[in-house]
Chain A
Amino acid sequence: QSVLTQPPSVSGAPGQRVTISCTGSSSNIGGGYDVHWFQQLPGTAPKLLIYANNNRPSGVPDRFSGSKSGTSLSLAITGLQAEDEADYYCQSYDSSLNSYVFGTGTKVTVL
């Protein structure tokens, strides 16, 4: 059972904008711990997409962006493309659990 909650699925047509929320608590996101986002294509290892709330590693398109507000954080994908169809996970640290934690995961479907 994860302490970071994400919607199970989101979908959008090509070119649209979709957002994925990641909701935590005062012992993780609300406690000021950074949140990171990963993209996992079927059958592959997760790939770091956003680090420290809103930073993109080299090579990640600027269609992907992160934002933080209180105990929630969101990943936005603009200009949705077929290749964006994947599972997305948020990740942070939880001071009550003394552990790195991942979100429940969101499957993005491109209609």
Chain B
Amino acid sequence: QVQVQQWGAGLLKPSETLSLNCAVYGRSFNDYYWSWIRQPPGKGLEWIGEVNHSGYTNYNPSLKSRVTISVDTSKNQFSLTLNSVTAADTAVYYCARKGMSFDYWGQGTLVTVSS
């Protein structure tokens, strides 16, 4: 069975950098792409980007200039960095495995951007 656990800072000031991490427990980390998805309070879901075990990434063009997703295969972990955050980046951030679709999800981390 696959378990996905995430962690990171939940309160940021405008212009700071968001940093979240996701650890994957179970086999086959190298066989999938791993994504970050966010959901502003009371709103819908937005895909941020993905990474595979080789470090190959794809990003949502709307966020590409501010996003970096990296991978550490020695720990079966991947990370999200989002620069220059504003209040519009306040959301629950999820990490997820991309199989046929997003089939395993982390528990979510609420990140609030406020001065």
Binding site for B on A (CB under 8 A): 2, 34, 36, 38, 44-48, 51-52, 55, 57, 89, 91, 97-105
Contact = CB atoms under 8 A, between A and B. Distances in A.
A47 B4 CA distance: 13
Given A2-B44, A51-B100, A102-B44, A45 B106 contact: yes
A102 B103 contact: no
Contact residues of B: prevailing secondary structure? loop
B61 A48 contact: no
Contacts of A103: 44
Contacts of B15: none
A48 B101 contact: yes
A48 B103 contact: yes
A104 B107 CA distance: 21
A30 to B, nearest CB: 19
Contact residues of A: prevailing secondary structure? strand
A35 B108 CA distance: 23
A91 B101 contact: yes
- Give chain B's interface residue range (CB within 8 Å of chain A): 10 to 19
Contacts of A2: 44
Contacts of B61: 97-99
Given A45-B94, A45-B107, A38 B102 contact: yes
B109 to A, nearest CB: 11
Contacts of A97: 60-61
B7 interface: no
Contacts of A89: 44-45
A36 B46 contact: no
A88 B26 CA distance: 28
Contact of A100 (B47, B107, B108): B47
Nearest to B63: A99
Given A45-B94, A45-B106, A45-B108, A102 B100 contact: no
Nearest to A101: B47
